[in-house]
Amino acid sequence: MSKEQKPGWKTLTRGGLILDAGNADEYATGGWRVKRPEWIPDNCIHCLFCWVYCPDSSIETKDGKMTGIDYEHCKGCGICAEVCPAKEKAIVMEPEGGKEDGDE
Amino acid sequence: MNKRVALTGNEAVAKAMQQINPDVVAAYPITPQTEIVQIFSKYVADGKVETEFVTVESEHSAMSACIGSAAGGARSMTATSANGLALMWEVVYIAASTRLPIVMPVVNRALSAPINIHCDHSDAMGARDSGWIQLFSENAQEAYDNAIQAVRIGESKDVLLPVMVNLDGFIISHAVENLNINDAEEVQKFVGEYKAEHHLLDKDNPITVGPLDLQDYYFEHKRQQSEAMKYAKEAVKKIGKEYGELTGREYGYFTGYKLEDAEIVLIGMGSTMGTAQAAVDELREQGVKAGLLKLRMFRPFPAEELAEALAHVPVIGVLDRAETFSTNGGPLFTDMHFALYGQEHKLIDFIYGLGGRDTNVSHLKGMFEMLQKAKDGQPIDRINYIGVRE
* pLDDT tens by residue, B359-379: 999 999 999 999 999 999 999
Q: Determine which of A1, A14, A32 to mutate to test the interface with B (most B C-beta atoms within 10 Å).
A: A14
Name the B residues in 157-176 with CB < 8 Å from any A CB: 160
The reply to whether B348 and B370 lie within a common domain is yes
Closest-approach residue (CA) in chain A for B209: A17
Q: Residue B43's closest CA among B23, B14, B81?
A: B14
Show residues of chain B in contact with A19, CB under 8 Å: 198, 205, 207
The reply to whether B243 and B258 lie within a common domain is no
* Residue that is last in its domain, among B247, B273, B299: B247
Report the pLDDT value the prediction gives residue A104, as an integer from 0 to 100: 47
What letter represents residue B365's amino acid? Answer: K
| Nearest CA distance, B211 vs chain A (angstrom) | 7
Q: Residue B117's closest CA among B165, B60, B174?
A: B174
Distance CA A34, CA A16 (A): 30
- Taking phi over 0 as left and psi of -120 to 50 as alpha, with beta for the rest, A46 belongs to left
Show residues of chain A in contact with B216, CB under 8 Å: 1, 6
B278 touches chain A (CB under 8 A): no
Higher per-residue confidence, B22 vs A20: B22
B205 touches chain A (CB under 8 A): yes
Query: The domain spanning residue B283 has which CATH number?
Result: 3.40.50.920
Show residues of chain B in contact with A13, CB under 8 Å: 198
Going through B99-253 in order, the beta strands assigned E by DSSP cover 103-108, 133-136, 163-168, 176-181
| Nearest CA distance, A14 vs chain B (angstrom) | 7
* Residue that is last in its domain, among B199, B222, B247: B247
The reply to whether B220 and B326 lie within a common domain is no
Say if the Cβ atoms of A16 and B227 lie within 8 Å: no
Show residues of chain A in contact with B97, CB under 8 Å: 15-16
Say if the Cβ atoms of A9 and B100 lie within 8 Å: no
* Residue that is last in its domain, among B187, B216, B247: B247
- DSSP string covering B104-119, please? EEEEE-PPPSS---S-
Q: Determine which of B97, B98, B208, B214 to mutate to test the interface with A (most A C-beta atoms within 10 Å).
A: B208
The reply to whether B164 and B204 lie within a common domain is yes
The reply to whether B96 and B235 lie within a common domain is yes
What letter represents residue B357's amino acid? Answer: R
Instruction: Nearest by CB to B207, from A1, A8, A18: name it.
Output: A18
Closest-approach residue (CA) in chain A for B159: A14
Give residue A99's pLDDT band: very low, low, confident or very high (50, 70, 90).
Answer: low
A15 touches chain B (CB under 8 A): yes
Going through B146-247 in order, the beta strands assigned E by DSSP cover 163-168, 176-181
Distance CA A59, CA A39 (A): 10
The reply to whether B204 and B281 lie within a common domain is no
Give residue A24's pLDDT band: very low, low, confident or very high (50, 70, 90).
Answer: confident
High-pLDDT (> 70) share of chain A, %: 90
The reply to whether B128 and B178 lie within a common domain is yes
Distance CA A2, CA B317 (A): 54
- DSSP string covering B315-334, please? EEEEEESS---SSS--HHHH
The vertex-B325 CA angle with B319 and B328, nearest 5°, equals: 65
Q: How far is CA A27 from CA A74, B185, B293, B357, in A?
A: 11, 50, 54, 57
| Nearest CA distance, A50 vs chain B (angstrom) | 26
Measure CA B316 to chain center: 22
**Residues B161/B96, Cβ–Cβ less than 8 Å:** yes
Structural domain of B60: 3-247
For chain A, the straight-line distance linking the first and the last C-alpha, in angstroms and rounded, comes to 35
Distance CA A97, CA B255 (A): 70
Closest-approach residue (CA) in chain A for B219: A9
pLDDT > 50? residue B293 = yes
| Nearest CA distance, A2 vs chain B (angstrom) | 10
Exposure of B307 in the CB half-sphere (CA atoms within 13 A)? 13
Give residue A101's pLDDT band: very low, low, confident or very high (50, 70, 90).
Answer: low
| Nearest CA distance, A55 vs chain B (angstrom) | 17
A103 touches chain B (CB under 8 A): no
**Residues B88/B57, Cβ–Cβ less than 8 Å:** no
As to burial, measured by CB atoms within 10 angstroms (0-12 exposed, 13-18 middle, 19+ buried), residue A5 is: exposed
The reply to whether B100 and B200 lie within a common domain is yes
pLDDT > 60? residue A103 = no
Q: How many domains does chain B have?
A: 2
Map residue B131 onto helix, strand or coil: coil
Domains along chain A with CATH numbers: 29-95 (3.30.70.20)
| Weakest-pLDDT range from A18-22, A42-46, A96-100, B14-18 | A96-100
For chain B, the straight-line distance linking the first and the last C-alpha, in angstroms and rounded, comes to 52
Residues 6+ apart with CB under 8 A from B275: B359, B360, B361, B364
The reply to whether B103 and B209 lie within a common domain is yes
Q: Residue B6's closest CA among B141, B148, B166?
A: B141
B217 touches chain A (CB under 8 A): yes
Q: How far is CA B123 from CA B28, B82, B164, B270, in A?
A: 16, 5, 11, 14
Closest-approach residue (CA) in chain B for A6: B216
The reply to whether B240 and B326 lie within a common domain is no
The count of other CB atoms within 10 Å of the CB of residue B19 is 22
The reply to whether B237 and B275 lie within a common domain is no
Residues 6+ apart with CB under 8 A from B172: B9, B107, B137, B138, B139, B140, B143, B270, B271
Instruction: Nearest by CB to B217, from A16, A19, A23: name it.
Output: A16
pLDDT digits (tens, 9 = 90+) for B233-288: 999 999 999 999 999 999 999 999 999 999 999 999 999 999 999 999 999 999 99
- DSSP string covering B51-87, please? -EEEE-SSHHHHHHHHHHHHHTT--EE--B-HHHHHH
The reply to whether B53 and B164 lie within a common domain is yes
Distance CA A98, CA B237 (A): 66
B202 touches chain A (CB under 8 A): no
